[in-house]
Every structure is written in C-alpha cells, then in structure tokens.
Amino acid sequence: MVRDFEQYSAWRQGVVTALKNYQAWVAGASLSDAATDQRVSRTLARLADDQLSVAFVAEFSRGKSELINAIFFAEYGQRILPSAAGRTTMCPTELLWNPSLAPSIRLLPIETRADNLSTSDYREQPAAWTVLPLNLDEGAEMHEAFKQVSKTRYVPVEEAKRYGLYDEDDPDMPATLDENGWVEISLWRHAIINFPHPLLKQGLVILDTPGLNAIGTEPELTLNLIPNAHAVLFILAADTGVTKSDIEVWRNHIGAGAGRLVVLNKIDSMWDELRSEDDINAEIARQQANVAHMLSLEPRQVFPVSAQKALVGKINHDVELQARSRLHALEGALFNELIPAKKDIVRRQLVEELQALNTAQMAMLQARSRGIVEQLHELRSLRGKNQNVISHMMRRIDVEKKEFDASLFKLQATRAVFTRLSTELYTCMGMDIVRDDIELVRHEMQRSRFFTGVREAVRGYFERTRANLDAAERKTLEISEMMGVMYRRFSTEHGLTLALPMPFSLDRYRDELASIEAIYYKTFGTATLLTTSRVTLMEKFFDTIASRVRGCFRSANNDAEAWLKVIMAPLEAQIRQHKDQLKHRLGSIQRIHDATDSLEQKIDAFERSQQELEAQKTRLNELANAIGIAIHADFVALDAAA
C-alpha cells in the first residue's frame, strides 16, 4: 500500500522534474513569456498540492475508526484513532500532512456554527482554531490527544438550536435530552490532525466522519467533503446489516460509482468455534449478498472484513489472522481504484498543458527562424550589388519599421478597449456582486413565512448566479474576439507567426455551480423542507451552499485575472522580437553600406545562428517529449499485501 503511493508520488515527481527542466531551458533560451511562466508555475503548483482523499462514512459503533487504524496505522503497533464501543468520533476529522506546520491537532470550536461561515471559510482564519501539539515520541500521550475528537458537553436546548443541533420539529429529539433537559453536543465542530505518516506525506487525506446523524447536522460533510472525496468507504456491520438510515444515506449522499466501496465490517462476530469454516463463510456470503441487494449492488462490490482482527493480525504479524480478516481484498480494491483514477485525471490535465506549452514556444522559435531566413536572403542578395542598391534596401527596411510602429499605435487603442471590457467583466462576476446576491437571498429567506418561499428564494439565487456567469462569459468572448482580430492583423500585415490568444472558458465554474445546485436540491428536497426548521435550513444553506458558491466565484475571478494578465503576452513577446529583428536588419545593412562589416562575415554569422536555432528546435522537442514520456509513464500497481 505504501509502495503504491510511493510509486504514484515518484510518477508525479518525474513529471515535475521534466517540467522544471523544460522551464529552465526555455528561460535560458529567452523563449519564455508571461503566459508560459504562468502556465508552468500553475501546473507545478497543482502537482505540488495534489492530494488523494478517502472518506469513511458509517453510523456509530460500526468499527469505522478501527478500520482506519487497520488500513493506515497498524505499523505504529497500537491504535492511533480512539476506538471503543459507542461513539468515538464526534466531529468530522481530517488526517493529513502539511510540512509547513508542526505535528498538531487543530480543533474548530462548536460555537462557530452560530456564524454564517462554513468550515472551509474558517480554514483561512488560523486564529479561530485551538491548536494542540502532538508529541510523536510518546505514543500514549499522542493517543490521549487524539481523544479530543470524542469530547462532548451538555448545553441548553436554546444554545443547541443556535448551532443548528436541535430541531424542535423532530419528534425524536426530546428523547435525547438528559435529566436536566440539556442536549449533548460535540465540543468541536471540525478537527484537522497534522501527522507525518508516510502515506499522508505522499498526499493522502483521510476523512473520519461522525455517525450518520452528523451528515444531517454538518452540511460541510454532505455538500463538500464527502462528494469531493476521491474514494468513499461506506461501513456497515455484519451483525446489524443494512438499516433504513443506512439506505437513505447511501442513496442520497454516496451511491454507486467510481471509488465508492461498501464494507461489511465485524465479520468476526459470525466466527463460531462450534461451526465449520465452510458454514461460517456461507453465512458471510449470504449477508454480503443481502447487503448488495439492499443497496442495488453486485455482491463483489461489498467487502466483508474484520477491521479489529486485521489490526491485531498486523500488529502481531499474524499472517493467518490477517488472511481471515479479509482486509487485503478491500485494500487492493481501494488503491487499485483510487490511484489509477486520480492519475488519469492529472494526466489529462498535463497533456493539455504540454500541448499548449510546446505550441507557444515552437511558434517563437519559428518566428526567430523566419527572421534569420529573411535576413540571410537580404544579405545574399547584396552580393555583387553597388551602394545604391544597399541604400534602397535600407530605405525599404526603414519604411517597414515605420509601418510597424504605426501598428503599435493601433495596439494602444486596443489596450484602452481591453481595459474597459476587463472592468465590465468584473462587474459581472466580481466578489462584490457575489456578496450582494448572498445578502439578498438571506433577506428573502428571512422574510418568507413558508418553505415554498424559501425554495423560491434559493431558486432565484441560483438563477442570478448563472446569469452572472453567462454575462461574464460573453465579456470574455468579446475580449478573445477583439484580441484575435489584433493577433490576425499583426500576423497578416507583418508576417508574425502567432497562434490565437490563450482561450478562456467559465464552463468548469458553470458545471461546478450546477453541481452545487443539484446537491442542494437533493439534500434539501421537499421531505427535508417539511421536517426541518427554517432556522436550521438557513444555517445549512449559508454555512455551506453560499460558501461553496463564494469559493467557485473566487476561483473564477483568480483564473480570469491571471488570463487577463497574460492574454497579450505572446503578441507582446513577438512584437519585441520583431522590433529587434528590424533594428538588427537595419543595423547590419547600414554597417555593410559603411563598409565597417564584411558581407560574407555577416552571412556566415547568420548561417551559424540558423544552425543554432535548428538545434534549439531539436532540444525543445526533446524536452517536450521528456515531459510526455513522464506523463504517460506507468508503474506496476502492487497488491495491498506488498
């Protein structure tokens, strides 16, 4: 398992090395521009931040934390996450490694639920978190620190309602009160454990969720963390089978698909010394088939395991017990699906970037090559010519230079229009309009007395956000068309080798917005609206839906800003190059006219330059091919037992 991640990390590092070699050579050859620098830097940043997230979802007492211990932490020789009867994970807990931070547990207080901010929003506010250091040299001390995720406290009903943790319309809620009429709630809203585990260092992120009831009360799980996980393990217990709440969560929040696995845990409860091994296996197979039928799956998609026995077997190096726990099959399925699927996504993105990169740099080399060919043609044509012919050629180049300078004045006018359109683009999709839309829907939801009014307010909100993106898309298209005209004009009038401007599309953000809207209506459907208090509904919406829309628009703004900064970069780079070539052409012929340079010496120098350019083209293709080889390199996926 560790080897699988190490090989994926090595593949990723191979691509990074090839990209950096390409970047360094291009910069050294003066072939880089702002667009190239941005494209390479963003690709390297994505590779550096590449993560693989695995979410574990289950009702309490299904052995979820024990399964995490068995799969990921057995080599520590003890339980890392607390695991016992009852509820041991009271708040969503992420395990990851950020090398810029010390080993620690960061805890977000439950009181933050009273504000209209999601957990994602608080990630950008370090002061909001309680930080506990982890002493990696003291296993018992570290294990004790991890128990923070199970801490609770009792609060009055009004306080629980303020946090969205008590729904007075739920007939089952009064039964949860203690003798004083108070509600037990988690001490923390979210926990992030920064831990230098080998797998976490490779980019793995593990999400340990509380019981299924938390999926209804912590919208960050329902609307963000679980849907975006690369793999989700849905854990059931062999001794209880599939409950009604299990089926609802599976259908509404997980569902069959790539990276979605069902685990039938605690099969050791079916082990019986008074029954034969065949009888036990047959009983496990029947339970496996029943679970598959209830969840509309094939039996092979349900993995019977004993997490507790697997952990004991790994710690004690008991191969027979490990085999009987059946954990190897689950580990193999998890990593054989997770890593190749993630690699394919990254690979497709890299191929697109490489094509764009090589096209831009090769165009610059072609432009230089064309300039040298033209100058060689001019110089060779001067052989045996008199001073009058050379003077005429100087005048012709001077006219060409003046015509080019006149085109630059037209470019300045285009810049003014570009600035205006850029400003109009931000009026359509800027963060101010996002904030105003959220405030408007907040007011409409508060004013509404009926759930249908709440639904209408949200429907109008999504319509406005879609309209804003559509308007922004029209502006980006207008900018692209205007710049395309300018690119074609310079190409036609001055013979520049220019590809059309780097394209920009808001499609991915439109798709993301549609996904957010679909999740909203799936989660907050009619049944939910009829059974959930309006205050709780609003808290869920503003904590999570609005936060995700803000994040979507923030990313779109960042991408648009980056695009606007570099859309002119290829044109400007070739303009500078063309101006230099005109200057050099004029200077060369001037020196020949004044008899300060030998014509043949000049021709020899340009021929050497031509050879150097051909060598540069070859080297550029070699470096691009090296990236391609690194991207398409495959590694042998090892069995989880390796």
pLDDT score for 384: 65
pLDDT score for 309: 94
**Structural tokens at position 418:** 């570009």
**Beta-sheet pairing, 93-96 with 204-208:** antiparallel
Q: How far apart are CA 545 and CA 463, in angstroms?
A: 14
Q: What is the arithmetic mean of pLDDT over 574-591? A: 74
Q: Is the pLDDT of residue 267 over 90?
A: yes
Q: What is the arithmetic mean of pLDDT over 131-149? A: 82
Using DSSP's 3-state secondary structure scheme, residue 474 falls into: helix
**pLDDT top residue among 490 and 53:** 53
For residue 297, give every residue at least 6 positions away whose Cβ sits within 8 Å of its Cβ, in sequence order, or none: 256, 262, 291
Q: Among 336-345, 542-551, 567-576, name the most confident range.
A: 542-551
Give the pLDDT band (50/70/90) at residue 351: confident
Give the pLDDT band (50/70/90) at residue 349: confident
**Model pLDDT for residues 289-339, shown as the tens digit of each residue:** 999 999 988 898 899 999 999 999 999 999 999 999 999 999 888 877 778
CA nearest neighbour of 288 among 226, 241, 231? 241
Give the pLDDT band (50/70/90) at residue 639: very low
**Structural tokens at position 70:** 């068995």
Q: Is the pLDDT of residue 190 over 60?
A: yes
Phi–psi pair at 58, nearest 5 degrees: -170, 160
Q: What is the arithmetic mean of pLDDT over 149-154? A: 87
Give the pLDDT band (50/70/90) at residue 443: confident
Q: Is the pLDDT of residue 257 over 80?
A: no
pTM for this prediction: 0.70
Q: Among 353-362, 403-412, 558-567, 575-584, name the most confident range.
A: 558-567
Instruction: Give the C-alpha distances (Å, rounded to integers) separating 135 from 106, 142, 146.
Output: 14, 6, 11
Q: Is the pLDDT of residue 526 over 80?
A: no
For residue 235, give every residue at least 6 positions away whose Cβ sits within 8 Å of its Cβ, in sequence order, or none: 56, 57, 58, 62, 63, 64, 67, 263, 265
Q: Is the pLDDT of residue 591 over 80?
A: no
CB atoms within 10 A of CB 564: 18
**pLDDT top residue among 291 and 143:** 291
**pLDDT top residue among 154 and 586:** 154
Domain residue ranges of the chain, discontinuous segments joined by +? 402-596
Q: What is the arithmetic mean of pLDDT over 75-100? A: 78
Decide: 133 and 103 in contact? Cβ < 8 Å.
yes
Strand order from edge to edge, sheet including 231-237: 130-133, 104-109, 188-194, 93-96, 204-208, 52-58, 231-237, 260-265, 302-304
Q: What is the arithmetic mean of pLDDT over 558-566? A: 84
Q: Is the pLDDT of residue 86 over 60?
A: no
Decide: 369 and 495 in contact? Cβ < 8 Å.
no
Q: What is the arithmetic mean of pLDDT over 475-486? A: 86
Q: Which residue has the tokens 């101010």?
A: 432
**Structural tokens at position 602:** 């000049």
Average pLDDT over the chain reads: 82
Give the pLDDT band (50/70/90) at residue 392: confident
Give the pLDDT band (50/70/90) at residue 557: very high
